[in-house]
Chains A and B, each alone.
Chain A
Amino acid sequence: MTNCQECERIAGYSHGLRETLMTGAETKDEGDRAARDRDVQELDQVVIRFAGDSGDGMQLTGDQFTRTTALMGNDIATFPDFPAEIRAPAGTIPGVSAFQLRFSSFDIHTPGDAPDVLVAMNPAALKVHLPLLKKDGILLLNTASFKAINLKKAKYEVDPRTDDTLDGYRVIEVDLTERTKEALANCPLDSRGKDRCKNMYALGILYWLFHRETEPTEKAIAHKFAKKPDVVEANLIAMKAGHAYAETTEIFQTAYKVAPARLPPGTYRNIMGNQALCLGLVAASKRCEVPLFLGSYPITPASDILHQLSGYKHHGVITFQAEDEIAAVCAAIGASYAGQLGITSTSGPGVALKTEAMGLAIMAELPLIVLNVQRAGPSTGMPTKTQQADLLQAMYGRNGESPMVVIACSTPADAFEVGYEAIRIATKHMVPVMVLSDGYIANGSEPWRLPAVDELPPIDVRYAPEGEAGVKFEPYKRDPETLARPWAKPGTPGLVHRIGGLEKQDGTGNISYDPANHQHMVDTRAQKVANVANDLPPLEPVGARTGDVLVLGWGSPRGAITAAVTRMQQQGHRVSAAFLRHLNPLPNDLEALMRGFKRVVLPELNKGQLALMLRSTYLIDVQSYSQVNGQPFRSQDIQDFLEKVLEELRG
């Protein structure tokens, strides 16, 4: 079969893959698969990147590989990387959509720095993603798309397959378009419909290459296109044809296996960040028996929160797609005022618009959750690219002294706990809470060890009871411990009162311009937020509590930091890491932890915003490691930086 035209064009490294594809590879002969006389190698991890045109179904392909792999018990982390344009012109560089995933037999924290395998459906995808591919990595190309016009769109002067561009990679050329068409010769779909199945053909090839089961995808596709049996059939035929093609041709010398990861025991589910955040909110709402109300206006990358919560009506969730960002937050404040859990979901530009209303919630001392799924700014920025540069906006982006609780999620699964925590804080302390996520967390996924429902911490919500005759209700009479004011629902007899954005007298809530009262209220609102720190759990660093370097992190860099720090610890360095979920107020034990190290390094996907806060709060010389290119950190870059810091310390 080696005479197939598409068959391999191996660029010199026939056995290279073994070294390339990860550490700990071990050749095994798989006797149980008689049809395969090729080697099966065991790997401990693989990074794959699917890249193609927006219309090539790369997200779906990546998603299917992810589900299958999660079900097979590997640890997995994903990174969808797609363009903002829904359909940028076909074949162009801006139209390239990619999905990176990394799966392993051990606990991983990131979707990997550089892929071992790149599937490039067209020249533009090759152009954008080839620089990332590991040397000696596998490159699967769809030859059908390497026509002059596509090469031109991808700004290739010459076909990269004909010069030295692809030297050093293991290139597999397959005419996916033609192969798929052949496989679907008897299917009733039109030729465009058939062409759209080529991603499944590619998936079939990779399923063979990495010993993946096809059954989960069969089920998922049948479910996804339940109303279009022809489409289901064509997709599955294409996938199986790809699988069979890989098995019967000799494009690969070797197939690979990645053993299941030894994850902590439990029940798992693969989860994306936006999903987990929604589940955390719903779980908290069920636990405290207060219905959720989401006011939202569509915005990338937060819209999925609106979509998902809209599907939870059976859990009593009301969703309101407002006329704009401001109406969305105002409606949420109205809902909280009426006794529900008001939430608004958005991204940075939307937060900017909600600013004034957040100030009102601070003044009215109502619970409110503002979900900011950050994206690259400023202004419209790069909507589909990740960044965590809205921290200072969350902290200080309002007029007047208007402190707000700020918490952040750090991984897709962590978003569940953060959503839950947001509601706990907002209702216990009667304060608005800003939750920071980002595009990387929102769309990335990982296996989530499901919590036991009865072990979720209780959230105790008490509304103000009916008033007594003759006693004037005081809307700002405070809980002595938290300073929270009562949550007095309209409709409750005896509690009529007026609140608003004007400064008010403590206790009565009447309008007050008294200087002493204003000072007192400003101090009180600050103290209320500070009091949130009183019941935070102690920080749990990765590594020792003292040492040379403490790497602090918040939000999505957690994975890359953990990977870098763990590797350095294995090399014997006295480096620890700690992650902050609570950014305002900061944990009470943070300062002592920082003072236990010679240096504190803080990698952030911004220009050093938390570093600025920590330096001014603690007068500790926190060293910022900043990256603001719309991409997540590579753990190797963090490691390189830390090595330099250690060198300086020694030097």
Chain B
Amino acid sequence: MTDVDGRKITKRDFKSDQDVRWCPGCGDYSILNSVQAAFADLGKKLHETVIISGIGCSSRFPYYMETYGFHTIHGRAPALATGVKLSNPDLDVWVVTGDGDAMSIGGNHFIHTMRRNVGLKVLMFNNRIYGLTKGQYSPTSPHGKVTKSTPMGSVDHPFSPIALALGAGGTFVARSVDILAPHLQATIKRADGHGGTAVVEVYQNCNIFNDGAYKHFTDKVVRSERMVELRQGEPLLFGKDHTKGIAFDENFQPYLVEGDDLGKAYVWDEAAASPAPAMALATMDESRFPVPIGVFRRQDKANYEQAVNLQVEHAKSTTQQSLEELLYAGEIWEVS
């Protein structure tokens, strides 16, 4: 695939000339890096790629990508991107958003994008905090979180963005982590290949206001014990030598298995007809179970912009009406 000056496109080509202005050490840097690498691998064309963001630290993203980019207003990126995609379905449209942007102020647009299955790829950087406004709790901050706006601890209950996306009918719902570059890049590529809305929740470390939010399961030393990678067609196993597993009881409640019971570990099927297993994993208690990453759900479903444009094309091909015929329609009369 060539784009720039007839040569093969590289990760470098996706870097814009703007200085990156996230705090040094911010997880956003690794995500930017992974996106640029994945886009280069995918052979994307700069001019066919559009990145649309809302407001927040994550939403600075478009400025750093040498593609078309639109840094819009708080929470509204999916709505604006829907307009872009409907108007020109050939464009490759990515939404970059965060947990405040997509889960709080823009929650409505997020769920309705899922419901319609608009062909957008949504990268939701979840750092469980408001970074740009300097450290208030977000809809994904844990209960009891002490922040500037919750000096005595947050009494809000967080929700799981994955569960929300599943509940809204999301057809591609995945999770990855900023520092797991190979996994993140692979997940981005899989999202890219999905026809409808693809949501990737990326756990991202905000080293200024919520440092180490994910450390307890992403740290190298605990990772194998505390995380489980969803692999299509394989049992849900984790632990250093994959000696532990997750099984479900008849009520779809997860429980841990090991030893002789390991064979009961649930065989993962991201394309399962029922969203129940995915939902069960998305709502598992982080303190008792390993944290799942990978593709929770993938469904093939007609996408919105195609359905809309099909109707338009159909109407155009079946009804030809000149402007004159349109205006001079209905009951008209002459006055001489």
Q: Tell me if A318 and B86 are in contact (CB < 8 A).
A: yes
A328 to B309, CA, bound (A): 18
Q: Of residues 267 to 311 in B, which have CB atoms within 8 Å of A's CB atoms?
A: 308-309, 311
Chain B neighbourhood of A316, CB < 8 A: 312, 316
Q: Is A480 an interface residue (CB 8 A)?
A: no
Q: Is A142 an interface residue (CB 8 A)?
A: no
Q: Of residues 483 to 515 in A, which have CB atoms within 8 Å of B's CB atoms?
A: 489-502, 510-511
Q: Tell me if A498 and B69 are in contact (CB < 8 A).
A: yes
Give min CB distance, B132 to chain A, whole Å: 12
Q: Is B241 an interface residue (CB 8 A)?
A: no
Q: Tell me if B87 and A73 are in contact (CB < 8 A).
A: no
Give min CB distance, B8 to chain A, whole Å: 17
Interface hit among A198-206, A319-327, A385-393: A319-327
A339 to B309, CA, bound (A): 15
Q: Is B73 an interface residue (CB 8 A)?
A: yes
A328 to B320, CA, bound (A): 28
Chain A neighbourhood of B327, CB < 8 A: 269, 279, 283, 450-451, 453
Chain A neighbourhood of B309, CB < 8 A: 318
Give min CB distance, A621 to chain B, whole Å: 41
Q: Tell me if A496 and B87 are in contact (CB < 8 A).
A: no
Given contacts A492-B47, A493-B47, contact A320 B71 (CB under 8 A): no
Q: Tell me if B63 and A511 are in contact (CB < 8 A).
A: yes
Chain B neighbourhood of A332, CB < 8 A: 83
Q: Tell me if B108 and A490 are in contact (CB < 8 A).
A: no
Residue of A nearest to B66 (CB): A496
Digit string of B319-336 for contact with A (CB within 8 Å is 1, else 0)?
Answer: 111111011111111111
A563 to B331, CA, bound (A): 27
Chain A neighbourhood of B46, CB < 8 A: 496
Interface hit among B22-30, B74-82, B189-197, B206-214: B74-82
Chain B neighbourhood of A323, CB < 8 A: 79, 108-109, 112
Q: Of residues 1 to 51 in B, which have CB atoms within 8 Å of A's CB atoms?
A: 5, 16, 18, 46-48, 50
- Checking A265, A334, A495 against B336 with a beta-carbon cut-off of 8 angstroms, the contacting residue is A265
Given contacts A265-B335, A322-B79, contact A498 B316 (CB under 8 A): no
Q: Tell me if B326 and A282 are in contact (CB < 8 A).
A: yes
Residue of B nearest to A356 (CB): B73
Q: Tell me if B62 and A498 are in contact (CB < 8 A).
A: yes
Digit string of A248-265 for contact with B (CB within 8 Å is 1, else 0)?
Answer: 000000000000100111
- A260, A269, A287, A451 interface centre (most CB from chain B within 10 Å): A269
Q: Tell me if A491 and B83 are in contact (CB < 8 A).
A: no
Digit string of A332-345 for contact with B (CB within 8 Å is 1, else 0)?
Answer: 11111111101000
Residue of B nearest to A454 (CB): B324
Q: Tell me if A498 and B335 are in contact (CB < 8 A).
A: no
Q: Tell me if B71 and A500 are in contact (CB < 8 A).
A: yes
Q: Is B88 an interface residue (CB 8 A)?
A: yes
A37 to B41, CA, bound (A): 92
Q: Tell me if B84 and A334 are in contact (CB < 8 A).
A: yes
A555 to B86, CA, bound (A): 34
Chain A neighbourhood of B336, CB < 8 A: 265
Q: Of residues 448 to 503 in A, which have CB atoms within 8 Å of B's CB atoms?
A: 449-451, 453, 469, 489-502
Q: Is B171 an interface residue (CB 8 A)?
A: no
Q: Tell me if B79 and A331 are in contact (CB < 8 A).
A: yes
Q: Is B91 an interface residue (CB 8 A)?
A: yes
Q: Is B261 an interface residue (CB 8 A)?
A: no
Q: Tell me if B83 and A71 are in contact (CB < 8 A).
A: no
Q: Is B203 an interface residue (CB 8 A)?
A: no
Give min CB distance, A63 to chain B, whole Å: 12
Given contacts A73-B335, A318-B87, contact A327 B320 (CB under 8 A): no
Q: Bin the interface of chain B by size.
A: 35 or more
Q: Is A49 an interface residue (CB 8 A)?
A: no
Give min CB distance, A241 to chain B, whole Å: 25
- Checking B63, B88, B331 against A216 with a beta-carbon cut-off of 8 angstroms, the contacting residue is B331
Q: Tell me if A263 and B335 are in contact (CB < 8 A).
A: yes
- Checking B70, B109, B321, B324 against A315 with a beta-carbon cut-off of 8 angstroms, the contacting residue is B321
Chain A neighbourhood of B74, CB < 8 A: 356
Q: Of residues 52 to 80 in B, which have CB atoms within 8 Å of A's CB atoms?
A: 52-53, 55, 62-63, 65-74, 76, 79-80
Q: Is A400 an interface residue (CB 8 A)?
A: no
A495 to B48, CA, bound (A): 10
Chain A neighbourhood of B81, CB < 8 A: 334
A331 to B327, CA, bound (A): 28
Q: Tell me if B67 and A496 are in contact (CB < 8 A).
A: yes
A323 to B316, CA, bound (A): 27
Chain B neighbourhood of A216, CB < 8 A: 331
Given contacts A313-B315, A497-B68, A498-B69, contact A283 B323 (CB under 8 A): yes
Chain B neighbourhood of A313, CB < 8 A: 311-312, 314-316
- Checking B18, B68, B69, B332 against A268 with a beta-carbon cut-off of 8 angstroms, the contacting residue is B332
Q: Is B90 an interface residue (CB 8 A)?
A: yes
Chain B neighbourhood of A491, CB < 8 A: 47-48, 68, 88, 90-91
Q: Is B251 an interface residue (CB 8 A)?
A: no
Give min CB distance, A400 to chain B, whole Å: 13
Q: Is B133 an interface residue (CB 8 A)?
A: no
Chain B neighbourhood of A264, CB < 8 A: 335
A498 to B312, CA, bound (A): 30
Residue of A nearest to B83 (CB): A334
Give min CB distance, A521 to chain B, whole Å: 16
Chain B neighbourhood of A338, CB < 8 A: 83-84, 87-88, 91
Q: Tell me if A335 and B83 are in contact (CB < 8 A).
A: yes
Q: Tell me if A337 and B108 are in contact (CB < 8 A).
A: no
Q: Tell me if A326 and B79 are in contact (CB < 8 A).
A: yes
Given contacts A71-B333, A333-B80, A511-B63, contact A267 B87 (CB under 8 A): no
Q: Tell me if A293 and B87 are in contact (CB < 8 A).
A: yes
Q: Is A360 an interface residue (CB 8 A)?
A: yes
A612 to B335, CA, bound (A): 42
Chain B neighbourhood of A71, CB < 8 A: 331, 333
Q: Tell me if A360 and B73 are in contact (CB < 8 A).
A: yes
Chain B neighbourhood of A270, CB < 8 A: 331
Residue of B nearest to A220 (CB): B331
Chain B neighbourhood of A279, CB < 8 A: 326-327
Given contacts A331-B82, A337-B70, contact A357 B333 (CB under 8 A): no
A415 to B299, CA, bound (A): 46
Chain B neighbourhood of A502, CB < 8 A: 71
- Checking B67, B71, B90, B108 against A501 with a beta-carbon cut-off of 8 angstroms, the contacting residue is B71
A83 to B311, CA, bound (A): 35
Given contacts A267-B328, A269-B328, A490-B47, contact A326 B83 (CB under 8 A): no
- Checking B69, B88, B322, B324 against A339 with a beta-carbon cut-off of 8 angstroms, the contacting residue is B88
Chain A neighbourhood of B88, CB < 8 A: 338-339, 489-491
Give min CB distance, B63 to chain A, whole Å: 5
Given contacts A293-B87, A335-B84, A496-B47, contact A327 B76 (CB under 8 A): yes
Chain B neighbourhood of A497, CB < 8 A: 68-69
- Checking A320, A330, A490 against B76 with a beta-carbon cut-off of 8 angstroms, the contacting residue is A330
Give min CB distance, A147 to chain B, whole Å: 39
- B73, B80, B316 interface centre (most CB from chain A within 10 Å): B80
A633 to B136, CA, bound (A): 52
Q: Of residues 124 to 140 in A, which have CB atoms within 8 Å of B's CB atoms?
A: none
Given contacts A327-B82, A327-B108, contact A357 B328 (CB under 8 A): no
Chain B neighbourhood of A268, CB < 8 A: 332-335
Give min CB distance, A532 to chain B, whole Å: 25
Could you pull out 19 A-B pairs where Cβ atoms are within 8 angstroms?
A67-B331, A267-B334, A269-B328, A282-B326, A293-B86, A327-B108, A327-B112, A330-B83, A331-B86, A334-B82, A335-B86, A490-B91, A491-B88, A495-B47, A496-B66, A498-B16, A498-B65, A499-B71, A500-B53
Given contacts A364-B70, A500-B69, A500-B72, 9 further A-B contacts (CB under 8 A): A268-B332, A268-B333, A293-B87, A313-B316, A330-B79, A330-B80, A453-B323, A453-B327, A496-B68
List of 5 A-B pairs having minimum Cβ-Cβ separation, nearest first: A334-B83, A500-B71, A331-B83, A313-B315, A327-B79
